A and B are shown apart, each in its own frame.
Chain A
């Protein structure tokens, strides 16, 4: 479904060139949930932003459902690939009601018929009461906002959903609700997802396969059950796994000692 070949991205910071991605290649099958894990700055979010078309300076080959992607994305692309952002406090327009946020995609894609019904259905789908329809984001909690963001991403019925740390800004109890919601939506709609997270438990809960990234490269790719059995091959992944199990001075030392 999604093919990424030799994706290279270099950011310019003043006069310095900072490589963000160095030849990343990935394959995500249709209907699969693919996890991308790694520490901050490993380039995992950059992969998503390039796929979504938000980062325009890249080289390599991208294809979704066999169609190669260029620098500029078409409207049809946006109807097929949608994204949920990390920070639900920043991803909703502060002056737009939930209704406006949800009906805007329909208006952009000229899906005029039964707009009201679709907005209501989208609210039902993400488990928000219909009374939320005309509220502003500042009247919603973080979890509710993230539900609105998910509803907005799904209202065009895309085939691919890109998730950029969708739960890391939320409370633990709300995290579980959002993850369960995403799992349910995935099974109902046969969505292909790429889930970016630094949280191995989240990825373990959601993903079928995952890739571990570090310094802009993929260090290891594996099915999620190998992670669950605690037997990843690459030493860095093992470190990450140990780090996820809790704070351990030896692991912290080892992580810090590495370049």
Chain B
């Protein structure tokens, strides 16, 4: 086995720069991650979704919204319509490919909104303690007390249907568990000597929370977000299904399932194809999350 030089550089016992130390640690985590075949499968699904979202429009054989009424409800395998067509004669494959972009947009926007918010609320509450903790955590409890989909429904109903509002609604209903996790992690490190040492150096509370507490909470939050991605996709699809998410003719997967359910018994593929896409992507995110947990959260992994 030949030891390639970039590899040796990454695994160096004595890194020569901040960069090398950081990359070396990332590489070690990657090697740990690579050993888990299921996690790698999850990663490939997520990467495939990313790729399709980028190049999908060029791959799609048809316009996703072009209606050809005399080619309605063609079964999968029809020449020119690999996965069949829906009740308006639109090509399902093309719609799936365009829909990947919508799904990914929803997932990324929710993650970008939710993870920092939950992290911030949780770490501040956990570190500050006292009345601030009480106020922030009771607020969290209030959001947690509502069933997620019902609250999202209410918000979308108030804000009006559409992808942006669906994202906002999902984000508002998803952050509380992250705040809880971040707070719990903060409480375990708050009393540790390294936090006391940082305080002794005169570090301000902001520096302590951002520079010392947050790095220790991010990994569990990232894992949780990844595991929740499946749920987020399903909630988005659910909102789409109920007609409160993406609006027709937009090829959002949940909305596609919704439009297909009327013809499910005679023309199963119309609802099944987008359903399968949702299933595969949700499963991929779940597997990825599991693998990330093994790497990032040493307590859960390695057993």
Q: Does A53 contact B (CB under 8 A)?
A: yes
Query: In the complex the two chains form, what is the Cα distance from A135 to B14 in whole Å?
Result: 6
Query: In the complex the two chains form, what is the Cα distance from A108 to B197 in whole Å?
Result: 13
Among B25, B202, B212, B216, the one with the most A-chain Cβ atoms within 10 Å of its Cβ is: B202
| In contact, A52 and B200 (Cβ under 8 angstroms) | yes
Task: Take A94-B216, A136-B21, A136-B25 as given contacts and tell me if A78 and B202 are in contact as well, using a CB distance cutoff of 8 Å.
Answer: yes
Task: Take A99-B18, A108-B207, A134-B20 as given contacts and tell me if A93 and B194 are in contact as well, using a CB distance cutoff of 8 Å.
Answer: yes
Give the chain A neighbours of B204 by CB distance below 8 A: 108
Cβ-defined partner of B15 (8 Å) among A79, A135, A156: A135
| In contact, A78 and B21 (Cβ under 8 angstroms) | no
Q: Smallest CB-CB separation from B211: which chain A residue? A: A104
Total number of residue pairs linking A and B with CB closer than 8 Å: 79
Some 13 contacts from A to B, beta carbons below 8 A apart, are A54-B196, A73-B202, A78-B202, A85-B197, A91-B197, A96-B212, A99-B21, A104-B201, A131-B13, A131-B14, A134-B20, A135-B13, A152-B197
Query: In the complex the two chains form, what is the Cα distance from A94 to B198 in whole Å?
Result: 13
Give the chain A neighbours of B13 by CB distance below 8 A: 131, 135, 139
Contact with B along A144-156 (1 / 0, CB 8 A): 0000010010001
Q: Does B79 contact A (CB under 8 A)?
A: no
| In contact, A105 and B21 (Cβ under 8 angstroms) | no
Besides A92-B194, A99-B21, A109-B202, 5 other A-B contacts (C-beta < 8 A): A54-B196, A90-B193, A93-B198, A131-B13, A131-B14
Q: Does B16 contact A (CB under 8 A)?
A: yes
Task: Take A108-B207, A134-B17, A135-B15 as given contacts and tell me if A91 and B194 are in contact as well, using a CB distance cutoff of 8 Å.
Answer: yes
Interface of B is mostly: helix
Query: In the complex the two chains form, what is the Cα distance from A109 to B202 in whole Å?
Result: 8
| In contact, B200 and A87 (Cβ under 8 angstroms) | no
Q: Smallest CB-CB separation from B21: which chain A residue? A: A134
Give the chain A neighbours of B211 by CB distance below 8 A: 104
Q: Does B77 contact A (CB under 8 A)?
A: no
Please classify how large the interface on chain B is, using the bins under 10, 10 to 19, 20 to 34, 35 or more. 20 to 34
Q: Does A42 contact B (CB under 8 A)?
A: no
Q: Smallest CB-CB separation from A73: which chain B residue? A: B202
Query: In the complex the two chains form, what is the Cα distance from A156 to B201 in whole Å?
Result: 9
| In contact, B200 and A78 (Cβ under 8 angstroms) | yes
Q: Does B31 contact A (CB under 8 A)?
A: no
Q: Does B6 contact A (CB under 8 A)?
A: no
Query: In the complex the two chains form, what is the Cα distance from A152 to B194 in whole Å?
Result: 11
Q: Smallest CB-CB separation from A92: which chain B residue? A: B194
Give the chain A neighbours of B199 by CB distance below 8 A: 53-54
Give the chain A neighbours of B16 by CB distance below 8 A: 134
Query: In the complex the two chains form, what is the Cα distance from A101 to B51 in whole Å?
Result: 40
Give the chain B neighbours of A75 by CB distance below 8 A: 202
Give the chain B neighbours of A99 by CB distance below 8 A: 18, 21
Among residues 147 to 176 in chain A, which have CB atoms less than 8 Å away from a CB atom of chain B? Answer: 149, 152, 156
Contact with A along B258-282 (1 / 0, CB 8 A): 0000000000000000000000000
